[in-house]
Amino acid sequence: MINFRPPESDELPSTVITPSTVVTALISKGWRGVKDSTKADIRLMKDRAESFKNLASSFDREREGFREMESNNKKKKRSSLQVFEGFRNTQFVMKIKSRLKSLDVPELLSYLVRQSGPLLDQLGVKKDVSNKIIESLCNKRKSQLQLTPIYACESFNPENDTIVDDLDSRVASVLHSTGHHVNHHEVTDEKRHVAIVTTASLPWMTGTAVNPLFRAAYLAKSRKQSITLLVPWLTRSDQELVYPNNITFSSPEEQEVYIRSWLEERVGFKTDFKISFYPGKREKNGALQAFFVKHINNLVTRAYCDKVLRLSAATQDLPKSVICNVHGVNPKFLKIGEKTAAERENGRQSFSKGAYFLGKMVWAKGYRELIDLLAKQKDNLDYAFKIDVYGNGEDANEVQSAAKKLNLNMSFMKGIDHADDSLHSYKVFINPSVSDVLCTATAEALAMGKFVVCADHPSNDFFRSFPNCLSYNSPQDFVEKVKLAMESEPHPLTPDQRFSLSWEAATERFMQSSELDKILTQTSRLTRTSNSVASLIDGTLAFAHYCFTGNEFFRLCTGAVPGTRDYDKQHSSDLHLLPPDVENPIYGW
């Protein structure tokens, strides 16, 4: 600190007043004021620091009190763990650990190859080639070492997902013997928290919008789960392109009211789940872009998913996946089927019309296959055979022109709800599509007690057990199945068949196939230890995906729509989000 005060003198000051004396006195007086003010400020700062110190001490005492309470509450748990730890450190257990042989090179290589499946797939190495490499490594190790059956690879079978893998058990045993353990959180909430994310929403009447909605309703009905359904929010311009009948919404709240009203009218009970909206966009050429993202699908499912449920074998084979139809039909269709069966029991004719097809009028929804079949087999079908087609879509003019050019006996009507009264009297639903994963309209037609003529395709595997499902594998077989359906009467659904089409049964299949209890509890210590190795690889893949998707160039390479990494101003206004330039600021000079 610079001192402006003049040095003190022992002599008495002169009484002579000069200009220099006046200036010196003023400076001295001003500096004394500054010094006194500074001392006061320093004293105030010290007092405040002392008060903060006392406050922090009180917080420390409170925290110690909470720790003591928590310690008392967990004393019983600790005692049991101490008993187990004591047993683990006994001489008997130490001998077992010392006799447990470490992992050798073939074991490490085989485990590395198995865990690197998605990466090898992206490099063009097929799954069966990877399995052969693993088997050869296991056989090589078996010829070198003679181990007990639990550690040997003799029963290793990569194709059998239901049997505990010996290689995983071996790796887990070695890791466990080193004292490595996995910390897993304790679930304090009695309910599971389930998020259902979909890429479409009502009023777009597509399976991607309807099925997640019913799943959320029936999962929430069990009261064991807390459900959140995430659906896309489209701007007004995109709504006009996607939603039918010029239906648009000015806010997410308005669309939520529409969705809940539509759903509760069909399920017959009050729905209790949360609906959240995320910024969405209409994507052009989605099917073309999806063709290029097979490998990125493998990566993200491996990185982020514990279990993947595939509705049918028509979908891409993904890591950690099983095939199970976890979809049901709208209860309204089951009621229509019951009404039709009751009318037939009373001797009344329920089906006064012939065949029909219903679906969005785009070529990919089976219209090309339908026109090709009817054109090739026009002479083999009865001259009076006619099919009514219901649907709207961007390819409507082309589809109708192609049918007219080939002189096919097809009548085209606007798209309507499949449960509309005008469709109840049709007897045969024809669906030649081979692009569906699992056709919702096929399930609805079966629920209404109709015949279904469909292609022999993996997407229809679930329906083959129903006697009213007539699948064909050739154009000639198509003609035979159509004639059989037109000349016969459908079989009434049994109670078991009717239940298997319901959302109650679909929810049971979902809970069983997803194995939520097993995934959440992770009761086996060896399984948790083995999974820790896999989770390390999964975490690495997730980090790589996170880094790549932050770059616009890599996003475009994996099929993303340009300019969709961040939401725009319209989305921020509709969803009450921060402005884009605030949420994602651009730093620069």
∠ CA 503-508-512, nearest 5°, is 145
Average pLDDT, stretch 276-286?
71
Per-residue CA distances from 317 to 118, 126, 199, 570 (Å): 11, 12, 21, 38
Select the more confidently predicted residue: 589 or 265: 265
Domain 331-511 CATH class label: alpha beta
Residue 559 DSSP code: T
In 3-state terms, what secondary structure has residue 153?
A: coil
Give the separation between CA 156 and CA 159, rounded to whole angstroms: 9
pLDDT in tens, 332-359: 999 999 999 998 888 888 888 999 999 8
Q: Tell me the domain boundaries of the chain.
A: 1-9+20-73, 91-177, 192-321, 331-511
Q: Which residue has the tokens 């050798």?
A: 104
Segment 135-164 shows an average pLDDT of: 47
What pLDDT is stored for residue 222 in this prediction?
Answer: 76
Choose between 150 and 588: higher pLDDT. 588
What are the tens digits of pLDDT across the range 360-382?
Answer: 898 888 899 999 999 888 878 87
Mean pLDDT of the chain: 75
Structure confidence at residue 345 (pLDDT): 85
DSSP state of 474: S
pLDDT in the model for residue 194 = 86
Per residue in 27-56, pLDDT tens? 555 556 556 656 665 676 666 666 656 655
- Residue 192 in this model has a pLDDT that exceeds 80: no
Q: pLDDT digit string (tens) for 303-326?
A: 788 889 998 888 888 888 889 999
Check pLDDT > 80 for residue 552.
no
Structure tokens of 460? Answer: 């229809």
Residues 6 or more apart whose CB falls under 8 angstroms from that of 71 comprise: none
DSSP string, 285-325: THHHHHHTTHHHHHHHHHHH-S-EEESSTTS---TTEEE--
Two tokens at 53? Answer: 């110190």
List, in order, residues 6 or more apart from 543 with CB less than 8 Å away: none
Distance between CA atoms of residues 134 and 148, nearest Å: 19
Chain mean position to CA 346: 47
Tell me which of 306 and 117 has the higher pLDDT.
306
Q: In this predicted model, what pLDDT tens digit does every residue of 229-258 receive, in sequence order?
A: 999 999 888 888 888 888 999 999 999 999
Residues 6+ apart with CB under 8 A from 323: 309, 310, 311, 312, 313
